[in-house]
Structure 1
Amino acid sequence: MNSADLGRRVGVPSTALFTDQYELTMVQAALKAGTADRRSVFEAFTRRLPEGRRYGVVAGIGRVLDAVENFHFDDEMLTFLREQNVVDGPTLAWLADYSFSGDIWGYPEGEVYFPGSPILRVEGSFAECVLLETVILSILNHDSAIAAAASRMSAAAGGRGLIEMGARRTHELSAVASARAAYIGGFDTTSDLAAGFRYNIPTVGTSAHAFTLLHDTERDAFRAQVDSLGRGTTLLVDTYDVTEAVRTAVEVAGTELGAVRIDSGDLLLVAHRVRQQLDELGATETKIVVTSDLDEYAIASLAAAPVDAYGVGTQLVTGSGQPTCSMVYKLVARAGSADPAEPLRPVAKKSLGAKSSVGGRKWAARRLDENGVAEAEVVGTGAVPAELADRQLLVELVKGGEAIAREPLDAARERHIAARAGLPMSALQLSRGEPVIPTEYV
């Protein structure tokens, strides 16, 4: 496996300041109190799925590994912290030598999850683990939200092509992460070249309405594009009159025209009319791509339309109305010292209402019914029942500070397809509902 298979990690800056100030002030206070080195276990999980969602999708694990690897404080950062009086001198000295040396276990990327699933378990000293809280949550909350939206859109598309094209609708760095998460969730290509460069996601793109408007006639624009990109290109046919544009497109490119794109109007009606016209013109192999503020519901409504691929932007990169997964990162167990022989004891937040947590270092397994379909997410803190031993979900990601579970993005994409297929069929319903399987604590 070469480095390109895993994504290019060139030019990755330190992630140490992608954090909240209170992570550092907690370290300072713990160092002064003599508790900073206590062996600790933190877990990332969500108490509930976004409203109406039936399952979540784990995405961002590969980016978490990068973030942990690059979490270190350089001289310029330390100077900033000193000048801003964020922490004291002894803490700055400790941060200068910081490098995560603990262990991380987690759900593999592409796996599905449910309320209470211990998606990530971080083990080490209190100080080294607590520093990672913000950056881990920012990655998992964003990427998993996008992947969940992508998964719903993929299910609605029913095997038709999906193009991620939301770069212009979000922050430039979020766009790259979104394309990566969307690919895991089932999208086939992206329009974002940075995502293609960094993560080896197939990229696509031809022209916008501006290219047609640049030329004196639509025919001139089509001719210029075909001369440059070949007959297999995709021509945008709704700048002026769609019927006339389709006719011109076939006249210019011939029946070997790759595809036409429709970006406005009643997509269901227009797609049917365009398909009929293409067939009558002999362009029976020319595909139809539709765009225009699509989401999973719009995609599902076009199931009966002769559409070959969907391009999705805004709704995808904003999580289709659910831009975060509300994951939290909580201390669930700790020892009284750094001694590995000292037993861990469970700790838990006991707030009133819905913000309490379950203490203890957890394992998770998915119980299947007699047909091999998931029927429960089982989470426990003791011994794993024998019947669930081969159904455990957490895998070792980092050992002694070294990432040991990097994998090609296609592996996460394939894992998600398999994990989603193992859920009850109702998981694919777009109507609002409860999690498709319950979480059981043992």
Structure 2
Amino acid sequence: MNSADLGRRVGVPSTALFTDQYELTMVQAALKAGTAGRRSVFEAFTRRLPEGRRYGVVAGIGRVLDAVENFHFDDEMLAFLRDQNVVDGPTLDYLADYRFTGDIWGYPEGEVYFPGSPILRVEGSFAECVLLETVILSILNHDSAIAAAASRMSSAAGGRGLIEMGARRTHELSAVASARAAYIGGFDTTSDLAAGFRYNIPTVGTSAHAFTLLHDSERDAFRAQVDSLGRDTTLLVDTYDVTAAVRTAVEVAGTELGAVRIDSGDLLLVAHRVRQQLDELGATGTKIVVTSDLDEYAIASLAAAPVDAYGVGTQLVTGSGQPTCSMVYKLVARAVSADPADPLRPVAKKSLGAKTSIGGRKWAARRLDADGVAEAEVIGTGPVPPELAGRQLLAELVRAGEVVAREPLDAARERHIASRAGLPMSAMQLSRGEPVIPTEYV
């Protein structure tokens, strides 16, 4: 692994307690019953997409690999579990030596997915697989929700710049993960320096209204910023009067002014007026950046406005109304012993309503129509049909406990662009609807 694979992996803590207590108590009971070592297959999937969404976006795979690699119990953690009587002595002994030694296959990061898609398949003993459930789901559910929102915003932006700026609207660690997921989904930059430091995402930022209010006049504030950051900076022009501020900005920075930012008002109307004013002042190359509680619908409504970039915060880091993907992690196959030669047997939860699962170790492929456009997500447990052999979606991620599929974040970003482009055009519609392609089981 090198720095291009993940950015800086600084001070990565153990992830072993990012879990629910019942994962450990299940292991305790299975150890006592002699079933903990049974070969098992778990799959992460969602039974449905969030309401109104046409496709999902896989994000967080790289973080899942980190979590699996760093899932181990140190002495302090074991002492906590002992003091709280969470599990018994034999289980503590098992946890003390725990390292995941199984295999993981999954959809590559940035790929789109649909209901039933086996996004992650985890194989190993029951005990080592079940312990990973909570941390895997917490990462995939969060990151995939943010990436899906980002993808919708990216589609609505139509190639214009997108700045992730939601760090002040969520938990500090969620902010870093959100910036990473947003970059995969199509955002270009982030305001969060921790995300830039850890994942090599380009960072941007200039000033807030407080900087203007600090100075005796708007002219003084603009001059201080230009003197410090250069003429190519972005000046915030809506603290007082926008028209006066734009005139002052060009007087201070000259026609080489990089950009102006608008953070309030009727953005469509104000953007047109500012563009006309900038052009009349000779600042024809000065860009316009708009912010102010944007989501994909607001971005789409500004398609006719002379806007060069959008800054998005709250709606992005909260999944634009869909903060989770409702993914689950289910046992779908298991053997009757720990013997590697023992065949796997399909198992599945049978329940009323929409919570029934389909058993068996699954493969997935995307069938294309004659024009090369996706027409179905095909999922099966038997042999892969020859015509789908080259369209399989799961990639090997972990082999015998060792990560084998690290990649630069830009690879996931590029994959998403290509994957989304391969969907029917109706996938880009923001109106509520069903998944853009059906899921077929064979």
Please say whether Structure 1 and Structure 2 have the same fold, judged by a TM-score greater than 0.5.
yes
Provide the identity percentage. 93
Superposition misfits of 4+ residues, deviation over 6 angstroms: none
- Separation in 2 of the partners of 1:400 and 1:152? 37
Mapped to 2, the partners of 1:383 and 1:163 lie a distance apart of 45
Judged with a 3 Å threshold, the aligned counterparts in structure 2 of structure 1 residues 5 and 44 are, in CA distance, closer, same or farther, namely closer
Q: State the partner residue of 1:307.
A: 307
Asked if the contact 1:59/1:147 (under 8 Å) is kept, the reply is yes
Report Cα offsets for 1:165-219 as digits up to 9, x if no partner: 0000000000000000000000000000000000000000000000000000000
Deviation string 1:64-109 (CA, Å, 9 cap, x unpaired) is: 0000000000000000000000000000000000000000000000
- For 2:127 and 2:23, how far apart are their aligned partners in 1? 9
CA displacement at 1:3 relative to structure 2 = 1.9
Match of 1:34 in 2: 34
Q: Which residue of 2 aligns with 1:174?
A: 174
- What is the SS of the residue equivalent to 2:304? coil
Offset at 1:2?
3.0
Could you tell me how far apart the structure 2 residues matched to 1:343 and 1:39 are? Answer: 9
Cα distance in 1 between the residues matched to 2:227 and 2:2? 37
1:219-265 deviations in whole A, cap 9, x for unaligned?
Answer: 00000000000000000000000000000000000000000000000
CA contact under 8 A between 1:5 and 1:200: conserved in structure 2? no
1:16 matched to 2:11? The reply is no
| Alpha-carbon displacement from aligned partner over 1:119-175 (angstroms, at most 9, x marks no partner) | 000000000000000000000000000000000000000000000000000000000
Report if aligned partners of 2:162, 2:309 keep a CA contact under 8 Å in 1.
Answer: yes
- List gaps (5 residues or longer) in structure 1: none
Instruction: Quote the residue 2:203 is aligned against.
Output: 203
Structure 2 Cα separation of the partners of residues 15 and 215 of structure 1: 46
- Does 173-182 or 332-341 show the bigger shift? 332-341
2:339 and 2:108 map into 1 onto residues whose CA distance is 29
Residues 73 and 96 in structure 2, CA contact (< 8 A), matched pair in contact too: yes
Give 1:266 shift. Answer: 0.0
- Matching residue of 2:225: 225
Contact 1:112 1:419 in 2 (8 A): yes
**1: distance between equivalents of 2:39 and 2:408?**
32
Q: Secondary structure at the match of 1:260?
A: strand
CA–CA distance in 2 between the matches of 1:45 and 1:24? 22
Q: Show CA shifts across 1:5-41 (max 9, x none).
A: 4221110000000000000000000000000000000
Alignment check: 8 A CA contact 2:331 2:348 kept: yes
Query: Take 2:8 and 2:422, find their aligned partners in 1: how far apart are those partners?
Result: 32
Kept after mapping to 2: 8 A contact 1:60/1:181: yes
Verify the 8 A CA contact 1:275 1:306 in the aligned structure 2.
yes
Distance in 1 (alpha carbons) for counterparts of 2:209 and 2:10: 35
CA–CA distance in structure 1, aligned partners of residues 243 and 351 of structure 2: 63
CA contact (8 A) 1:162 1:312 kept: yes
Equivalent position of 1:378 in the other structure: 378
Instruction: Work out the CA distance in 1 between the residues paired with 2:10 and 2:249.
Output: 42
Q: Is the 8 A contact 2:4 2:407 kept in 1?
A: no
**Aligned counterpart, 1:121:** 121
Q: Which runs of 5+ in 2 are unaligned?
A: none
Distance 2:70 2:367 in 1: 37
Aligned residue pairs total: 442
Give the structure 2 partner of residue 388 of structure 1.
388
SS at match of 2:315: helix
Report how far residue 396 of structure 1 moved: 0.2
Q: Do the aligned residues in 1 keep the contact of 2:5 with 2:406 (CA within 8 Å)?
A: no
Residues 138-153 of structure 1 correspond to what in structure 2 (within 5 A)? 138-153=138-153
On the 8 A contact 2:151/2:185 being kept in 1, the answer is yes
Contact 1:190/1:201, CA 8 A, preserved across alignment: yes
Secondary structure, counterpart of 2:66 in structure 1:
helix
Q: Is the 8 A contact 1:184 1:412 kept in 2?
A: yes
SS of residue paired to 1:115: coil
Distance in 2, matches of 1:9 and 1:422, equals 33
CA deviations on 1:363-417 (whole Å, 9 max, x unpaired) are: 0000000000000000000000000000000000000000000000000000000
Moved more, 404-413 or 2-11: 2-11
Alpha-carbon distance in structure 1 between the residues aligned to 2:5 and 2:70: 20
Matches of 1:304 and 1:294 in 2, distance apart? 16
Partners of 1:234 and 1:209 in 2: how far apart? 13
CA distance in 1 between counterparts of 2:173 and 2:337 reads 40
CA distance in 1, matches of 2:350, 2:429: 35
Alpha-carbon distance in structure 2 between the residues aligned to 1:210 and 1:80: 45
Quote how far apart the aligned CAs of 1:4 are.
3.9
**What secondary structure sits across from 2:9 in the alignment?**
coil
Partner SS, residue 98 of structure 2? coil
Distance 1:48 1:251 in 2: 55
Structure 1 contact 349–357 (Cα < 8 Å) conserved: yes
8 Å Cα contact 1:289-1:308 kept in structure 2: yes
2:414 and 2:433 map into 1 onto residues whose CA distance is 26
Structure 1 contact 288–306 (Cα < 8 Å) conserved: yes
Query: TM-score with structure 1 length normalisation?
Result: 1.00
Per-residue displacement from partner, 1:346-377 (whole Å, max 9, x unpaired)?
Answer: 00000110001000000000000000000000
Aligned position for 2:268: 268
TM-score (norm. length: structure 2) = 1.00
Match of 2:100 in 1: 100
CA distance in structure 1 between the partners assigned to 2:83 and 2:137 by the alignment? 27
CA RMSD of aligned residues (A): 0.5
* Aligned equivalents of 1:17, 1:2: Cα separation in 2: 27
Q: Is the 8 A contact 2:52 2:432 kept in 1?
A: yes
